[in-house]
Amino acid sequence: MSGNVATASSVSVMSLVHSVVVGGMGAYVFMYPGEVLPTKLWYDSPAVRYTGCIFLGYTVADLLVMATHPAQYDFMMLVHHLMSVFGIVAGTVVPVLPYCSNLVFLQELSTPFVNLRIILYELGQKTSLLYKLNGVLMLVVFFSCRLATIPLWFQLSPLMETGELYTVGTALLITIFGCMPVVSVFNLYWFSKMCKGAYRILSRG
């Protein structure tokens, strides 16, 4: 296994473990929210804060890998990670809008399938049943967690109408109205690439 392949595989394993933890915590809080509600502006949720710290640690580590291993560099992922660091720091330092932070963590549920696809590909399993099954699950979970959740952000509308939302500070407002729309566009782009890849595989029979 070459150095670049070994690095890519190691990064994929690291990302897989991280995303299982972060995505799992995000799913748990989403299903059992308690006070983590879209209408709850100020609330300190330990689960959301701890998950944010794990998410931040992994993202910074992945940025360091990109900086030290040029073969791992990807411009869109770099922008994605930088916006993630900015947003998570803003949302973790101050206990505000934990519901929105958790929506970001929930998106990580799709990442294990993306990582497993990379690992299986590097192991030469591209034609295996597991690779194809994982591809189907990747499409379904990616859509469910990253695209189908976009409308949930509109639950902030009542806070916008009362003006409360605009008291959260500049950093979080930039995250909500600047970073998140860009991330959503990235997710749409990545999903379109996944669909094209799935179509090519299915068309070959």
- Domain count along the chain: 1
pTM for this one?
Answer: 0.91
Largest distance between two CA atoms of the chain? 58
Residues 15 and 73: their CA atoms lie apart, in Å, by 15
| Residues spanned by the domain of 61 | 3-203
Give CA separation, 174 vs 7, 86, 88, 181, 184, in Å.
Answer: 34, 9, 12, 10, 15
Average pLDDT across the chain, whole number: 91
The pLDDT-based confidence of 4 (bands split at 50, 70, 90) is low
Tens of pLDDT along 166-182?
999 999 999 999 999 99
Angle between helices 46-68 and 3-31 (to 10 degrees): 170
